[in-house]
Amino acid sequence: MLFYQCTLTLHDNIFFATREMGILYETEKYLHNWALSFALFEATFIPKPYRLQGAVAQRPGYLETANEQNLLVLNEHGIYVFPALPLKWSYQVNTFKAAQVPYYGQSKQFGERGANRNYPINYGRAKELAVGSLYQTYIIAREPISIPRWIRLGKWASKIQVDAQRLPANAIQQKSGEYSCTHPLNPIDLPGSTRLLLYNRIVMPPVSLVSQSRLVGNYWQISKPDHWSNSHDLSHEVCLPSGVSYGANIAVTPT
Amino acid sequence: MSILTSLKPNFQIAFPRLASGNYVHFLVVRHSQSFPIFQTDGVLNTARTQAGLDASNEKSKQSISRLVMFKRKQVTPERLTGRELLRSLNLTSATAGMDNFCEYNGENSCKKCPDCILYGFAIGDSGSERSKVYSDSAFSLSPYELSHRSFTFNAPFEGGTMSEKGEMRSSINEQDHILPEVSFPTVETLRDSTWEGFIYILGNLLRTRRYGAQESRTGTMTNHIVGIALCDGEIFSNLHFTQALYDSLDGDTARPISNLSAEATMVAEKLLNQEPVRKRQVIFGQQLDELLAEVNSLYQDEERLRHTLTTLYEQTKTYSETYGATAKQETRRKTSRREE
């Protein structure tokens, strides 16, 4: 099993509508591993059709084989991306609106056609993760893979720089028992044999993540190899559950 | 053979159903000519960034505020320029009820014209088309403090006065404007296009003159194309390009545009060599000048322009009929099965 440690640097603002409150749309500071998986492996492992229509366009099917773009294909290749932990982050709030040809969009007031909520429907305020924010994550792969240097993530398809480095085998130890995990995890991707004892919940669609968790099961302990300099930024030990795969915890088997 | 024709084999002959690794990156220095305004909340958009990339250089590692030109504020005027052209050639129409009627940003998008297919759309139940043109927020080369000024504006009576018959107008306000000759180094990306689509997007970049708020009065900008790279992957971001150029100029951003463009060409070439992508063709310098001259003459020649854009329209229409919005359900399902 190969481990890649990735540092993600935001070169543009990232926006996801994690929480919607009236006209304010807020982005969660953790990056979801499913979103990252699509961004990292689009058009290489996961096909990306240009045209989306009907049920496919309206309903996500992350773990459905019937959906052309599903994550199970990564399971077949033995690839798994963990959610990303924010190391340094800040926010910026920006107003957006839907433009029309006359360059002028009149906000629709409550009661007008199409406006059934008591706030204007064609503009909103996006609370975005600001440029310069820094994240860390891990990717597991069965065989060596090429990880793109630049990916596009979020509703604005913002550019992120990915610096990936393969961790040497002697930095990783397979262990079993009770352990703490500081890295965010996706509970649906945990194997059935791993039990979550304690955790903080990060509420976000499509699947809430957990952080600062205490778990029981098989895990990998990643520590800094002696010959590595501090520039590699592997300052503290990290424990990650083993046996993770997309949808491992729910009864969906690839057919 | 002209350089524009020699590029043809690098492009696909039809728009594909699935995304692949055919990227064209336009390296542009957007240069303000009057007083543009890029704002979303009553003040100019800014972001706090590192001045440059060099951590060992005092000037480079300082943190500065930069003006931001959001991605949608770059692509929107370019789309509208292209749509104007399509209408003027009668490829699309602005008259409701016509066969080729296409409405911007609405449920009546035609879903088959070059604008709809290249720049994409998303319309509730009618589904969506992913954009093949990618942009990235642009950051000013010079710091915010040196790149803007506040102006007062008013709307006087016809006589040029603010009061008439004892009535005072209240239409007076103050507004921050971006100064002329502020540069925004930019990479605009086109993916999986045909040769005709490439000409259309390049034309939109060359022909768009106004960006930002109050487009009919101010906001003139010129796009100086400094390079074109045909690669199999994404390349550096606008911020990276801006910071590298800042370092290369040693923070001295007040240079004439010819000087800046030359420097930007050098920086872009250097940065491109550091990217882990295969380069099918890279066009800089003399070769680029020739290419741009050819594209300019194509846009001046009514006949050739009409021919090129009609071909493009046929391509997007065929795409739409095969995989897109006007395809019949059965054919689409069959095609996707065949590809599996």
- Residue B127 in contact with partner chain A when CB distance is under 8 A: yes
Per cent of chain B over pLDDT 90 is 80
The distance of A131 to chain B (nearest Cα, Å) reads 7
Per-residue buried b or exposed e for A33-51, using 16+ beta carbons within 10 Å of the residue's own CB: bbbbbbbbbbeebbbbbbb
H or E element: which one contains A97?
A: strand A91-97
In Å, what is the CA distance from B49 to each residue of A129, A243, B45, B68, B239? Answer: 14, 40, 13, 11, 9
Expressed in percent and rounded to 5, the helix, strand and coil fractions of chain B are 40, 25, 35
Kindly report, residue by residue over B199-251, the tens digit of the pLDDT: 999 999 999 999 998 666 789 999 999 999 999 999 999 999 999 999 999 99
- In this predicted structure, the answer to whether residue A219 has a pLDDT above a threshold of 50 is yes
Contact yes or no for B70 and A94 at CB 8 A: yes
* B175 phi and psi angles, rounded to 5 deg: -150, 135
Could you report the predicted ipTM of this complex, rounded to two decimals? 0.91
Neighbour count for residue B174 (Cβ, 10 Å)? 9
Residues of B in contact with A152 (CB under 8 A): 134, 234
Nearest beta carbon to residue A48 from set B18, B76, B233: B18
Instruction: Using the Cα atoms of residue B252, residue B256, residue B258 and residue B259 in order, give the sign of their dihedral.
Output: negative
Give the pLDDT mean for A41-54.
92
Written as six digits, the tokens of B58 are 């005092």
Residues of B in contact with A158 (CB under 8 A): 136-137
Instruction: Please give the interface size between A and B, counted as residue pairs whose CB atoms are below 8 Å apart.
Output: 120
Nearest beta carbon to residue A101 from set B104, B136, B235: B104
Contact yes or no for B136 and A161 at CB 8 A: no
Residues of A in contact with B186 (CB under 8 A): none
Per-residue buried b or exposed e for B41-76, using 16+ beta carbons within 10 Å of the residue's own CB: eeebbbbebbbbbeeeeeebeeebbbbbbbbebbbb
Give the pLDDT mean for B114-118.
97
- In this predicted structure, the answer to whether residue A232 has a pLDDT above a threshold of 80 is no
Give the pLDDT mean for B63-73.
95
- In this predicted structure, the answer to whether residue B187 has a pLDDT above a threshold of 70 is yes
Average pLDDT, chain A: 88
Give the pLDDT mean for A113-118.
63
**Type of residue found at A100:** Q
Residues of B in contact with A163 (CB under 8 A): none
Nearest beta carbon to residue A149 from set B76, B276, B324: B276
- In this predicted structure, the answer to whether residue A181 has a pLDDT above a threshold of 90 is yes
Nearest beta carbon to residue A131 from set B49, B106, B325: B49
B23-32 and B46-50 beta bridge pairing: unpaired
Cα–Cα distance between B295 and B205 in angstroms, integer?
Answer: 11
- Residue B220 in contact with partner chain A when CB distance is under 8 A: no
DSSP state of B326: T
- Residue B197 in contact with partner chain A when CB distance is under 8 A: no
Per cent of chain A over pLDDT 90 is 71
Residues of A in contact with B239 (CB under 8 A): 11-12, 131
Which residues in chain B (96-125) have CB-CB distances under 8 A to chain A?
Answer: 103-106, 120, 125
Q: Which residues pair with A134 in a beta bridge?
A: A9, A88
Contact yes or no for B275 and A149 at CB 8 A: yes
Distance of CA B84 to the CA centre of its chain: 15
Question: DSSP letters of B225-272?
Answer: EEEEEEESS----HHHHHHHHHHHTTT-----HHHHHHHHHHHHHHHH
- Tokens 């005072």 belong to residue: B168
CA dihedral A102, A154, B232, B9 (to 10 degrees): -30
In Å, what is the CA distance from B73 to each residue of B33, B76, B215? Answer: 16, 6, 11
Give the pLDDT mean for B128-132.
94
Kindly report, residue by residue over A196-208, the tens digit of the pLDDT: 999 999 999 999 9
Predicted TM-score of the model (pTM)? 0.93
Contact yes or no for A11 and B239 at CB 8 A: yes
